Structure 1
Amino acid sequence: MKSLFETETQQIILNRIQNLNETSQPNWGKMNVAQMLTHCQKPLEVANGTLELNTKIGFAKKLLFKLFKSAMYNDKPWQKNLGTVREFIVTDAQEFTIQKEKLIQDINEFSQLKEKTSWPTHPFFGDFTTEQWGKMQYKHLDHHLTQFGV
């Protein structure tokens, strides 16, 4: 699995983002391109420590999420139209250029953290290693860029 901590992979992701425009249409899902760019910032903000999710889940759900934890960073692509946490859902209008620039900034900030050893605990999946964070962020971005055909 590729990682957003790999310079070449980071550049590929950034190039794919540059191939988006205001009229890019999704191959699946409900978000428009500007909403997708905003949505993709959220997991990076959690990892960067600038967004804290105050989601409380019960023991049974926490156990269930741990069973699927490796799906967040393994080589198997995510299914189309997967659900997302409430805090990551973007339904309001977004300004494409602003959100594109913000996502690029968040990616560049995250990519500088490859030596980091202390990460926030994910509210659903628990703790991830640095390697897992890098793979998970790549996988999420790849999923949504594929959604928009870039």
Structure 2
Amino acid sequence: MEAKPTLTLEPHRIIEAKRFLQTTVPAATSKLLSVTKPHWGKMTAQHMIEHLYTAVISSTIIKKTPPIPASPNQEMFKNVLIYSPEPMAKNLDNPAFRFGLPDYTNPTIIEAKAKLLSSLERFFEVYEGKNYAYNYNPFLGDLHAQETLVFHYKHFKHHYTQFGLI
């Protein structure tokens, strides 16, 4: 039997997140060029795409063990990054980049964009009919499918706004 979350997300937010990731993101991604500059932050267009790919692909690893309750810090970040309807703040300090931006993992942005869109398709396949399946996020702790969906929605919206794609 699957554990049910104690917090809920409004159905309209789930519907909007899914529509955005399946419709808006592919259309907006097609407009991104390697020379597109961000309105804020240090990432290049390809860094941003590869960063989102890593977030999506890591979220497709469903845990086989019971969810672990979030720490107070993780709970605070979940409330801000998932449960709050407010957009993510600009210039968030991501500890993953404290030593600088990583090397590219794809030879071109074209290949990176294709992998990102494929990872989103995989995400929806993995979670089809599994609303209470869990994955682990290093900053937010264990997230069920709907929390992960809303996180990706807000994360993509943040970065696609950063690069003027939406």
Do these two structures clear the TM 0.5 threshold for a shared fold by scoring above it?
Answer: yes
Q: Counterparts of 1:48-87 in structure 2 under 5 Å?
A: 48-49=60-61, 62-73=71-82, 74-86=84-96
User: What TM-score do the two structures reach when normalised by structure 2?
Assistant: 0.73
Q: Which residue of 1 aligns with 2:161?
A: 146
The answer on 1:21 being equivalent to 2:33 is: yes
CA distance in 2, matches of 1:106, 1:20: 17
1:76-111, CA deviations, whole angstroms, 9 ceiling, x for partnerless residues?
111111022427974324521111111111111112
Partners of 1:48 and 1:109 within 8 A in 2? yes
Q: Which runs of 5+ in 2 are unaligned?
A: 1-12, 63-70
The answer on 1:40 being equivalent to 2:76 is: no
User: What TM-score do the two structures reach when normalised by structure 1?
Assistant: 0.80
How many positions carry a matched residue from both structures? Answer: 139
The answer on 1:135 being equivalent to 2:116 is: no
Q: Which moved more, 1:2-11 or 1:94-103?
A: 2-11
Partners of 2:49 and 2:113 within 8 A in 1? yes
Q: Which residue of 2 aligns with 1:109?
A: 122
Q: Which runs of 5+ in 1 are unaligned?
A: 51-61
Identity %, equivalent residues? 24
Displacement, 1:138?
0.9
SS in 2 for 1:127: strand
Displacement, 1:2?
5.3
Partners of 1:2 and 1:138 within 8 A in 2? no
Partners of 1:3 and 1:137 within 8 A in 2? no
1:96-129, CA deviations, whole angstroms, 9 ceiling, x for partnerless residues?
1111111111111112224223222323322222
Q: Which residue of 1 aligns with 2:103?
A: 92
Tell me which amino acid in the other structure corresponds to 2:103: D
Q: Give the structure with the larger strand fraction.
A: 2
SS in 2 for 1:121: strand
CA distance in 2, matches of 1:92, 1:126: 26
Partners of 1:3 and 1:135 within 8 A in 2? no
Which of structures 1 and 2 has the bigger CA Rg? Answer: 2
Partners of 1:33 and 1:148 within 8 A in 2? yes
